[in-house]
Amino acid sequence: MSERNFMKLEFASRSENEGFARVTVAAFVSQLDPTLDELTDLKTVVSEAVTNAIIHGYNNRPDGTVTIVAEMDGDTVYLTIEDQGEGIDDLELAKQPLYTSKPELERSGMGFTIMENFMDEIEISTAVGIGTKIKMKKRIESKKALFN
């Protein structure tokens, strides 16, 4: 029997929605009884991906849409964060630690590094002028999840 559960969230590309997005995902994922560290990891990666969509995808324009799908299957969380923004021209360069395409905005260039470190798997698909989709996966290793 499948344990699959999911939710979908769509919101405007405004920075005030970054907190809303990570707290909402955390509330949904709480059903798996994650540890505080696991929950912080998930909140942080949501924050990174949503911030990237707003700053880079939509160039800080508030009229874009960011979509998050969060899924749980057994003890595993799947997150998909998507925008229909500018896309990433050079993905390998963008993934380099400390690289930023917007140094004037005081970006640390750590977004993708954090996503790669905090999640078990990450898959990025992007096309210039079409948008970016980030799919990530993390196993929740709490006791309750193990007994599912």
Partner 1 sequence: MSLHIELEQHRKALIVRLKGELDHHTADAVKTRMEDALLKGNTTHIILSLKDLSFMDSSGLGVILGRYKQITARGGKMVVCDVNPSVYRLFEMSGLFKILSIQDNERQALTSLEVVS
Q: Which of 55, 81, 88, 136 binds partner 1 (CB under 8 A)?
A: 55
Is 22 noted as a catalytic residue in this protein?
Answer: no
86 is catalytic: no
Query: Which of the ranges 11-19, 85-93, 127-135, 139-147 carries the binding residues for partner 1, by CB under 8 A?
Result: 11-19
Which residues inside 65-94 make contact with partner 1, applying CB under 8 A?
none
56 is an interface residue for partner 1 by CB under 8 A: no
In the complex with partner 1, the residue whose CB is nearer, 73 or 116, is 116
Q: For partner 1, which residue of 1, 63, 106, 147 counts as binding (CB under 8 A)?
A: 106
Closest CA to 4 of 68, 70, 73, 54: 73
- Please tell me the count of residues contacting partner 1 according to CB under 8 A: 28
Instruction: Report residue 130: phi and psi, to 5°.
Output: -115, -45
Query: Side by side, which strands form the sheet with 76-83?
Result: 5-12, 65-73, 76-83, 131-139, 121-127
Is residue 44 within 8 A of residue 138, CB to CB? The reply is no
- Pick the binder of partner 1 from 9, 33, 44, 87 (CB under 8 A): 44
Residues shown for the chain? 148
SS3 content of the chain, % helix, strand, coil (to 5): 40, 30, 30
Smallest CA-to-CA distance from 87 within 57, 122, 107 is with 57
Q: Which is nearer to partner 1, 30 or 148 (CB)?
A: 30
CA distances from 126 to 1, 37, 40, 123 (A): 34, 29, 26, 10
Can residue 105 be called a binding residue for partner 1 (CB under 8 A)? yes
Residues that bind partner 1 (CB under 8 A): 15-16, 18-20, 22-23, 37, 40, 43-44, 47-48, 51, 54-55, 97-98, 105-111, 113-114, 117
Active site residues: 48, 52, 107
